[in-house]
Amino acid sequence: MAGVCTAVLEDLSTVPLVALNMTVRKKLGLHLNPRTVVAADWTNVAEAMGFSYLEILNYQAAPNPILRVLDDWQAGSTEATVGKLLSILEEVERNDVVEDLRPLMEEDVRKFHKSLKKKAVRPLQVPEVDSCVPRTPEMSGLTLEDDPEGSPELFDAFICYCKSDISFVHEMIRELEQTDYRLKLCVFDRNVLPGSCVWTITSELIERRCKRMVVVISDEYIESDACDFQTKFALSLSPGARNKRLIPVVYKSMTKQFPRILSFLTVCDYTNPYTQTWFWERLARALSLP
């Protein structure tokens, strides 16, 4: 049985924690949030994750401490994987939690992989129709300014947005590209050449071409499969996820709840009249960091 368990942990050791949905996270809270003297609780799990005594004290004020711990661990550690979480639960001798939640976790992981494969599937077409040698996406020309014989086009930020928010994206282009900031934004509908697999190109741009990612948050964003894929892909990059700064931007009022997956990040809020004066400067400086 131990051999099987070890094999399962190894299989899950490369799956980012973002794969776990809210159902699993809430069940973890039911198991670990109650403080007890007879079993390890969320504080023991947080300590095993590497959080300090003072950090754990601060988490005590949260209404759901383990959710905060998981969000911050996911954002700040390259070890934040599903397999590592199971390993920590076994380390603190909470095998009851492992036995209860492992099937749900494995189902989440299966769905996560299925989603990535479905969205990254290539179109049914012949990749090459002449005698040219195979070309990588970096050399075949993804964007308008790509030079097939030279270096790929690079950007300061990838803009994750919904079609309905395009007017704000145009304003972002005016304020950040056409001013003294002189930043270079990757706007899919403007910069990307048509005719290639959307998911493959998006992954390439986020991971290798763009230093940052601006996420335009709106009610429409919450419902967008494309935005969901882009955000989760950027968060799942390891170790790049620690360096690729994601910047959520809210430019209009929302009726839906702000996405929890981004709740640990500082928001650039255009709707706040008290900070609107500094909005573009703050965003530009965040995108200009080395």
CATH number of the structural domain 139-288? 3.40.50.10140
DSSP for 141-186, please give it: --BTT--TTSPPP-EEEEEE--GGGHHHHHHHHHHHTSSTT---EE
Does residue 63 have a cis bond before it (omega within 30 degrees)? no
Helix or strand run (H / E) with residue 140? helix 137-140
- DSSP state, 268? E
**46: region left, alpha or beta (phi > 0 left; psi from -120 to 50 alpha):** alpha
Is the per-residue pLDDT at 59 higher than 80? Answer: yes
Is the per-residue pLDDT at 126 higher than 90? Answer: no
Token reading at 184:
């270079």
Fold of 2-120: Death Domain, Fas (1.10.533)
Bridge pairing between strands 185-186 and 268-269: unpaired
Distance from C-alpha of 159 to C-alpha of 233, rounded to nearest angstrom = 14
Q: Which residues pair with 185 in a beta bridge?
A: 157
Cβ of 71: how many Cβ atoms within 10 Å? 20
Domain(s) of CATH 3.40.50.10140: residues in the chain: 139-288
Is the per-residue pLDDT at 143 higher than 50? Answer: yes
Closest C-alpha to 152, from 134, 171, 139: 139
Domain(s) of CATH 1.10.533.10: residues in the chain: 2-120
Q: Give the pLDDT confidence score for residue 6 in this predicted structure.
A: 43
Higher pLDDT, 282 or 133: 282
For the stretch 67-123, pLDDT in tens is 888 888 887 777 888 889 999 999 999 999 999 998 888 888 888 878 777 655 544
Q: Give the pLDDT confidence score for residue 121 in this predicted structure.
A: 53
Q: Give the pLDDT confidence score for residue 118 in this predicted structure.
A: 64
Is the per-residue pLDDT at 249 higher than 90? Answer: yes
Tell me the one-letter amino acid at 269. D
- When mean pLDDT is compared across 37-46, 64-73, 132-141, 266-275, the lowest value belongs to 132-141
Residue whose structure tokens are 């949030």 = 33
Residues 119-138: b if buried by 16+ CB within 10 A, e if exposed = beeeeeeeeeeeeeeeeebe
Residues 36-55, mean pLDDT to the nearest whole number: 89
Q: Which residues pair with 214 in a beta bridge?
A: 159, 247
**pLDDT tier at 148, thresholds 50, 70, 90:** low
Residue 5 C-alpha from the chain's centroid: 28
- DSSP state, 259? P
Return the percentage of the chain with pLDDT > 90, whole number.
43
Cβ of 13: how many Cβ atoms within 10 Å? 14
